[in-house]
Chain A
Amino acid sequence: MLGMANSLCYGEQGGADSGVEVGQETPTAGGAGFGLFSTDFKRNEDLKEMLESSKESLKLEAMKRVVGLIAKGKNASELFPAVVKNVANKNLELKKLVYVYLVRYAEEQQDLALLSISTFQRALKDPNQLIRASALRVLSSIRVPIIVPIMMLAIKEAASDLSPYVRKTAAHAIQKLYSLDADQKDHLIEVIEKLLKDKSTLVAGSVVMAFEEVCPDRIDLIHRNYRKLCNLLMDVEEWGQVVIISMLTRYARTQFISPWKEDGVFENSEKAFYESDEEKRKSAEETKPYAMDPDHRLLLRSTKPLLQSRNTAVVMSVAQLYWHLAPKHEVNIITKSLVRLLRSHREVQYIVLQNIATMSIQRKGMFEPFMKSFYVRSTDATHIKTLKLEILTNLANEANISTVLREFQTYVKSQDKAFAAATIQAIGRCATNISEITDTCLNGLVLLLSNRDETVVAESVVVIRKLLQTQPSEHSDIIKHMAKLFDNITVPMARASILWLIGEYCEHVPKIAPDVLRKMAKTFHNEEDIVKLQTVSLAAKLYLTNSKQTKLLTQYILNLGKYDQNYDIRDRTRFIRQLIVPSERGGALSKYARRILLAPKPAPVLQSAFKDRDRFQLGTLSHTLNSKATGYLELSDWPPMAPDQSVRNVEVAEAMKEWSPAVGKAKSSKSDDKFYSDSGEEEDEQAADSGSDEEGGSEGSTRTPAESENSETSEDSSQSEKSSDSGTGVKKTTTQKNKKLQQAKKPRKVSPSACSLPANRHIGDKRTAMQDVTGHVRSSLAFQVHVKPFLSCKLWCSVLAPSQVEEKPKKEVSLLDLDDFSPAAVTMTKSSILSPSVLSDLHGLSLAASSPAIQVSPVFVPVHTYELLHRMTGKGLAAQYHFSRQPCIYDDRMISVQLTFSNNGDHTLENIHISEKTSAGQNIHCFSPIECLEPEKSVTVSMGVDFNDSTQAASFQLCTKAEGFNVSIQPAVGELLLPVTMSEQDFSKEQGKLQGMNESSATIAMTPESITSQPLHRKVVNMANVGVVPSGQNNVHRFAAKLVSSGALVLVCVVQKDSGAQLTVNTEKTIIGSMLLRELQTVLSAP
C-alpha cells in the first residue's frame, strides 16, 4: 500500500506518464526516506531523457552513469524500457553497456527483456566473430526460462562455428543454460561431447569446465579425448589448465591401477603380510608386477613442466595431481615448486601451507630439507603463523628436533601471546611424538612455568598435564614443583589443571596433596568455578586415598560447595558426597567410588588437525574448509583391476604414436639389455639376498607373497628356461626385482643365520606347488607372468646363499622400472656412465629432476679456521681462512673460502691483494683488493678456489702495498664437497652404480659414547661437508655429497654394529674416496 502511495507521489512530482511502471519496479520497502528517494527518482528521470534523446554522446553518457549506479549497487531497474531501446545501437561501447544492463536486470523484467531477443538472434549471424560471441554471451546470460529453446538452438549452432572463440563462448553458455533449466541435460551433453573433440586449445578448458558442471559422471566421454587433452595441456590458457588437470586427476583414479603398492610406503599394507594366510594370498595377488599404464605416464609427463607456471593455481593443481597419482618416489618433485609458492601473496601462502600441512603428516621427508622456509616471521599474519607451526611440528623428528625446539623457544617469547600459547601446544605435540625428547620438553615447559606472562604459564601447565598423563610415575618431582608454583599462578585453567594432576596422582605426592587441599579450603570462595570443581574432585580423591588426614578438610569443602552460588558446583558436591561418604541409602554406589574416581584415564591424544585431511582432494575448497563443499566431486579409490585400456585408442592419432605401448616396450627392453649385461653379477647377489629374506619370512611356516605367487606357476620348467634366455626374460627379471625391492622395504626380520637354510628346500616346495596347479591357465599372457618365478629360482641356485647379509643396492630395480616408461630416464642412466663433466652438467639440470640428488645447505658449518699467514711472518698482517661450505658465487666449480685479515701491527696496511698465483692448474677467483686496514682492525673477504677435486694446496702470493708473502690454502678432503640429499632408495641406486673399485670400505671400532646416532652424525658432518640422507634403519647412517669441481657423487654409509661400524665410501673419484675413508675412520674411532 505504501508503495502505491509512493508511486502516486512520484507521478505528481515528476509528472511522468510512466508512473505505474515506476511503482512496479521500485522494490524499496516503505521505510526508505522519502526525501532521498525523490532526488534519486529525479536523477533517473533525466537519465531517461538522455537515453531517449537522439544524440549518441548523450546516450553514452547516460549509460555510463547507469553502469555507475549498478556498480554501486543502486537500483536502476526502472530505466529498463529506456535502455532496452538502445540494444541495436551501432555504437559498440554503448551497445556493450546496454548488454551489461540487460544481463543485470533481465531476470527482474522478463517481459521487457524479450524485446531484445530478436536483436541478438540477428547478431548471432553477424560476420564479425566478436559480435557473434558477445551476442551469445548476453543471450545466454538473460535468465528468462521462456527463451530456453532459443538458447539451445543458438548454442548448438555456435558449437559448430568456425571461430574457436565463439565455440568457447558456446561452452560457457552450456553451463548457463544448464543452471537455468536442468532438463536440457541430455541435449547439452551432446554438445559437450562434440566440443570435447575440438582440437582448439581455446575451447578445451571451457568445455571441460562445462563437463564438470553438467555431467561429471560421464567419464566415458573423456576416454577418446584423454590423450589429446594431455598433449594439448601445455598450450591451453592457464585457467583451463587448472580445470583440466583437476578433471584428469579424477579420471585417472578410475582408470589406472595404483602405482603405490610397488613402493610399499604405506605401513598398514605391510602389516597385512604377516597376518593370516588368506590375507596373504590376497596381497600376493596385489604384488603382481606393476607396470604403469603408458597413458598414466603420459599424464604425469605432460603436467610436470607446468610446475614452472607463474600461475599459483596451476602449480597447486599439478602438485595435487602428483600427490594423488604419481608413484610415491616421484612425488618429491613438487616440493620445490610448492615452497616457491610460499613467496607469493599472503592468501596464496595460506592455501599452500594448508596443503603442505596435510602432506607433511604423511611424508615428512618431502619437506624436511626446506624446513627453514617454514620458520615463522614476525610479519606473518596470525593464520600463517599457526600453519607454519603446524608444519614444523609435523616435520620434527629425532634428527632435527633440537633445531625445531630452539626455533620454538623464540616463538614462546613472541609478543603475540596467542601464538606463544600455540607454540607451547606444539612443543607438547613434539614431546609426545618423539619419545626421546619428552623429558627435555617437560623440563623446558617446567622452566616456562616461571615465565612472567600468564598465558604462557597457563598453557604450559595444561600441556604438562597432558604429557604427565602419559607417564606419571616418573615425574612426581614435576608435580611437586607445580604444586609449589600453585600460589603464584592465577589463570583459572592452569590452576584447575594443577589441582586435577595432584588429585589424579595423589599417591605419588602423598605429603603435598593434603597441603594443597588445605590451601584451597582457605581460598575456595574466591576461586573461579572451574577451579572449584577441581577442588571438589581433589578433595574426593584424597578422601578415598588418605582419609585419615583429609577427612575433615573434605567435609569442609563439600559444605562450602553445597551452598555455592553456581548450581553445577552444588550438583557436583551433592554427587561426590553421596559417592564417597558411606551412608545408608547411597551405600551401593560408594563401594565403587574408588573405581569411579580413580579409574586410570587414557592419555589425551595430541594430534594434528590436518590428520586424514587428504580424504579430500588436495587444493580444493573442501580441503581448505575440511568439510564437503557444495558440488565437491569425490576422488575415487584406485580400481583393483585395470579397466580396459583400449577405450582411449583413437584411430587417427598422429601425436600419440610414440606413446603407444608397443614402442615403449621395445625401447625399454633395449636399455634393459645393456644394463643387464653391465651388472649381471650384482643382480645375482641381490637375488641371493632377497632370497634369504624370503627364507626368513617363510620360516615361521607362513609364506611370503612371492612364494605364494610362485605356487601359481603353471608352466613347466624347460619352457620357462628357454624363455628366460630370450629378451622377455630380461624383462621378467626386472619385475621380479621390483618385487624384491618391495620386500626390502618390509621390516627385516632376518637374522644372518637364516640365510644358511638350504635354498634347495625352497625350490622343492615350489616345484610341488607348481605341479599342483599345472594346466590351470594356458594363455600366452599367463605364460609371460609365470616364467618369472623360475628364473628367480635359478638365481637362487646359482648363488647359494652367501652368509653375509648386507644392504645391497636395489637401485637398478627402480631404474629399470622407470626405463620401461620414460625415455628421459634412459638417457640419464647412460650418461652417468659417461664422463664426470657430463654428469655434472646433468646435475645442473636439477629441473629435469632426473637426478635424484638435491643440493641442500650444509648440515653443519664448523667454525674452525686455519692459519694462512702468521702475524710474525706477515709483519703485523695475520690472515686466517675458513671454509664457509657454501656454493661459490663466482663459479660452480669453485669452493668458497673466507679470508679474515687482521692488522696486528701498529701502522695501517694498504692495498692488500693477491698478486700472483703460483700453483698451476688451479683457478682462483681473487677477492677485490682491500684498500686499507687500520691497526687492530680486521676484515673478512671471500674468494673462490677451484681445487680440481684434489687436496693439493692452492698457493699464491698475498701482497700488501709494501711486501708480498707466499701463502697457500690447504683444503681438507671433506671441504671439497657440497652436500646433497636424496631418498633412501635413490641412495641405494646410486651406490649400486659405484661398486668395485669405486667403493672403499673399512671396519672401525667405536667407543660406546659414539653409539647413539647423534654424535656420529655430528662427527661426520663436522669432518666433511655432506648432506644427511634419511634412513629407515636406526643403525644405518647415510650421507651424500657431490664433488664441487666435477660434480661426481660421493656416498658415505655407516652401518653400526655392536662395538664397531662398517664404513663404506662410494665415489668414482677413488683417490678422494680413500682419503675420505681414512679421515672418517680417524674421526669416528676417536672417542
Chain B
Amino acid sequence: MIHSLFLINNAGDIFLEKHWKSVISRSVCDYFFEAQEKAMEPDNVPPVIRTPHHYLINIYRDKIFFVSVIQTEVPPLFVIEFLHRVAEMFQDYFGDCSEVAIKDNVVIVYELLEEMLDNGFPLATESNILKELIKPPTILRSMVNSITGSSNVGETLPTGQLSTVPWRRAGVKYTNNEAYFDVVEEIDAILDKSGTTVFAEIQGVIDACVKLSGMPDLTLSFMNPRLLDDVSFHPCVRFKRWESERVLSFIPPDGNFRLMSYHVNAQNLVAIPVYVRQNISFFESGSSGRLDITLGPKQTMGKTVECVVVTVHMPKVVLNANLTATQGNYTYDPVTKILVWDIGKLNQQKLPNLKGSLSLQSGAPKPEENPSLNIDLKIQQLAISGLKVNRLDMYGEKYKPFKGVKYVTKAGNHGHFVVTNWKLHNILASPFYV
C-alpha cells in the first residue's frame, strides 16, 4: 500500500523520508515539485499525481506537504485519511505539527511511523495505543531518561490492541474524575445583499476530554436529538443504541477525542446571528469609491457575539482605503488587497460602523463586481442550532465524576459567512433568467 513518505516544507526541502518497503529514491519527488510549480498555490496542487512508475498522493497541512509514494492500486481516500491521521498524531504528541517540532523529535516521529504502518498497511492508529508504545515527550521525562537511561518505549503490547475496545487503555487512574464535552457549531452561510440567505448550513462537533478511571460506560442523551440530521461517530459509539434510542452510548477513549460530528437538519437557515448593512460603490468618473459597513446582532438568543472580524477581498484596482471605524481597528494591505476590520464584541446599543473612501488606480475601468464580505465570529455558551445535552450517565464504575458541557458557535472555517454583493443584484435583467 503506502510505500514511502516524504515530508516537504514550503521551500521545497525534503526534511524527512521514511520507507516501509524497499527504498525509493527521493528523486521521485521531482514530479511533485513540477506539479507544485504549475499549481502556483499550495492548495491547488492536485492530491493525486501520476509518475511513470509510481503514484504520489499528497496532502498539504500546517505548511507541510505529506507526499506518499504508492506503487499499486489503493483507494486514494485510504491514503489521504491515513496521512491526515499522521498529522493529527504529530499534533497530539508534539503540540503542533510543524517542521520544527518534527525535526526536534525526529526519533519519536520515526518510531511512530514505524508503529503506525507495517509493510505499508496501518497497524496502530489509535492515539491511546500508540501512547502506550511510545510515550510522548515531556521535559520531565526527557530529563529523567537522560539520567537513568530508561526508555520512551513501552515493553509490552498495549492491552487495547487486543481488546474489543482498542481505543481505551487499561488501568487508567485519576484522582479527579472528570468528563468535559464541548459542543462546537459552525455556521456556513451565504447571504445576498438584502440579507436573504442564499445558502446556510450548520455543522457541529462534540469534542470530549474524558479523564475517568477504570472502564466507565457513558451514556449521553440530548434534549432534541431530532435536530441531528447526519452524524458520524468515533468508533467507540454504539451505533445500534443510537439508531434505536438516539442516545450516545460508549466506552470513551482516555483523554481528548472527537465523539461525533453532525449536520443540523435546517438546510437554509435557522438563525443568522448578525446582520450587515453595507454599501460599497465605485464611481465611474474619478478614481474613487465609497464604503460603508454596519454590523448588528440578530437572533443571538440573548448571547453576545464576540471576536467579530470582517474581511473584504478588494478588487485589484483598489489602491488604498481611507476609512474610520466607530469600533475596533481596520487594516488594508495594498499588496494582497485584503481589508480586515477587527471589531471584537458586538454591541447591541452602539452598532459598529466602518465608513470612508477608497482610492482606485486612475484610468483603470471600475470593477464590474462588488467585493464580498467574509464575517468571522464566535458566540460563547450557545449552540446556534439549539442542540442541548440532556444528561450524562455513567455505568460500570462507582465514583462520581465531575461533568461539564460547553457550547460555542463559530463562523464556518472554510466558507466563513459570506455576504455577497452580487448574488441577487439583477435577477430580472439577468440574461440567464428563465
Residues of A whose CB lies within 8 Å of any CB of B are 56-57, 60, 64, 67-68, 70-73, 91-94, 96-97, 99-100, 104, 107, 128-130, 133, 137, 140-141, 143, 163-165, 168-169, 172-173, 175-176, 179, 201-202, 206, 209, 234-235, 237-239, 242, 246, 305, 308-313, 315-317, 336-337, 339-340, 343, 345-348, 350-352, 372, 375, 377-379, 381-383, 401-402, 405-406, 408-410, 413, 415, 427, 437, 440-441, 443-444, 447-448, 452, 619-622, 624-625, 629-633, 844-848, 855-858, 861, 884, 886-887, 889-892, 928, 940-942
Contacts and interface: CB of A to CB of B under 8 A. Distances in A.
A479 to B, nearest CB: 18
A348 B77 contact: yes
A73 B107 CA distance: 14
A141 B313 CA distance: 53
A316 B74 CA distance: 13
B301 interface: yes
A620 B155 contact: no
B114 A310 contact: no
Contacts of B269: 884, 886
A204 to B, nearest CB: 13
Contact of A381 (B44, B416, B431): B44
B302 interface: yes
A315 B227 CA distance: 22
A1078 B430 CA distance: 36
Given A130-B155, A378-B418, A621-B70, A402 B110 contact: no
B273 to A, nearest CB: 13
B47 interface: yes
A378 B190 CA distance: 11
Contact of A310 (B162, B235, B302, B432): B235
Nearest to B147: A57
Interface stretch (B212-220, B259-267, B278-286, B321-329): B259-267
A310 B258 contact: yes
A308 B229 contact: no
Q: Is the interface of A mostly helix, strand, loop or mixed?
A: helix
Contact of A892 (B226, B233, B301): B226
Given A348-B77, A444-B431, 18 more contacts: A68-B107, A97-B107, A99-B114, A107-B23, A239-B82, A310-B235, A312-B81, A345-B61, A410-B423, A621-B73, A622-B73, A624-B48, A629-B55, A857-B267, A887-B265, A887-B266, A889-B270, A891-B224
B171 interface: no
Given A64-B107, A452-B368, A886 B266 contact: yes
Contacts of A173: 119
A73 B77 contact: no
For A347, A382, A413, A844, the residue with the greatest tally of chain B CB atoms inside 10 Å of its CB is: A347
B380 interface: no
Instruction: Output the residue of B81, B82, B226 with the most chain A CB within 10 A.
Output: B81
A1013 to B, nearest CB: 12
B37 interface: no
Contacts of A129: 157
B127 interface: no
B295 interface: no
Nearest to A628: B73
A898 to B, nearest CB: 10
A401 B432 CA distance: 9
- Category for how many chain B residues contact A: 35 or more
B32 interface: no
Contact of B243 (A447, A624, A845): A845
Contacts of B239: 234, 305, 308
A165 B164 contact: no
Interface in B124-140: 125
A315 B58 CA distance: 20
Contact of A73 (B14, B266, B368): B14
A251 B365 CA distance: 63
Contacts of B14: 73
Contact of A889 (B74, B229, B263, B385): B385
Contacts of A350: 46-48
Contacts of B363: none
Contact of A348 (B23, B80, B385): B80
Contacts of B114: 96, 99-100
Contacts of B154: 130
B43 A847 contact: no
Contacts of B15: 72
Given A382-B44, A406-B430, A889-B266, A313 B121 contact: no
Contacts of B109: 71
User: Which 8 A-B pairs give the minimum distances between C-beta atoms?
Assistant: A93-B151, A631-B72, A444-B431, A405-B432, A857-B267, A402-B434, A130-B157, A347-B47
13 contacts: A93-B152, A97-B111, A100-B111, A242-B78, A305-B239, A312-B80, A410-B420, A619-B76, A629-B55, A844-B246, A858-B268, A886-B270, A942-B271
